[in-house]
Amino acid sequence: MIHAAIFDMDGLLVDSEPHWRAMEREVFATVGLILTDEECKQTTGLPILDVVRYWFVRAPWSPEIAAGRSLEDLADAITEGVHERIAHFAEPMPGALAALDFFVSRDIPTAIASASPMSLIEVVVTRLGIRDTLTLWHSATLEARNKPAPDVYLGTARKLNVLPANCLAFEDSGSGLKSAYTAGMRTVAVPGAFEYDDPKFSIANIKLPTLADFSVATFDTLQTKEYYS
């Protein structure tokens, strides 16, 4: 049985990925790395410091052009810019608020398990007006390892006092899906259109185009023992 619903945040509940990509392009340009929006999509779902490391390995910039800024400094600059953009401009993803309400109406606890820092989770919770809808929210930055490790999902289940096997996790990225899957949860993948057919999402119990496609029938299917063991 499903006793809790746990949601990723960026790109799943909130349309934040365009803001992340915009800030990545802006900050990376200051060290001479010019990226396209499509190139930024390659790192969707990764913690932001891992994104900076990803590009530094592939196109290293010199200490001189970085003006003394470390990789951590660049990651912080991107995150700070995203905080500002999301606080003023971000909107919920299609079906996100209805999906949360679906579980609340059934007295099933809901939570966020995000790779983003707690400060950004707070911004999103306020922006979307979902503070009273959620039971709790948890950041992987408070765990030993970020996604794709299962730590944040295991930690969220522990805080909810629910066994991982009785949790239903929603994810839009391959990294996040691997995190929830490794934690032993039932999973719903909601990939972006640009990677919807990527085989990395085949480990999900169900794949949906948007959260608006989640239904009673989907929920009932996920509940059955035949579907999940």
Q: Are 170 and 100 in contact (CB under 8 A)?
A: no
Q: Are 125 and 131 in contact (CB under 8 A)?
A: yes
Between CA 9 and CA 14 the distance in angstroms is 6
- Of 51, 95, 101, nearest to 76 (Cα)? 51
Q: Are 208 and 190 in contact (CB under 8 A)?
A: yes
Q: Provide CB contacts within 8 A for 209, sequence distance 6+.
A: 190, 193, 196
Q: Provide CB contacts within 8 A for 39, sequence distance 6+.
A: none
- Of 39, 40, 50, 46, nearest to 19 (Cα)? 40
Q: Provide CB contacts within 8 A for 139, sequence distance 6+.
A: 114, 115, 116, 117, 118, 121, 152
Q: Could you give the residue numbers annotated as active site?
A: 8, 10
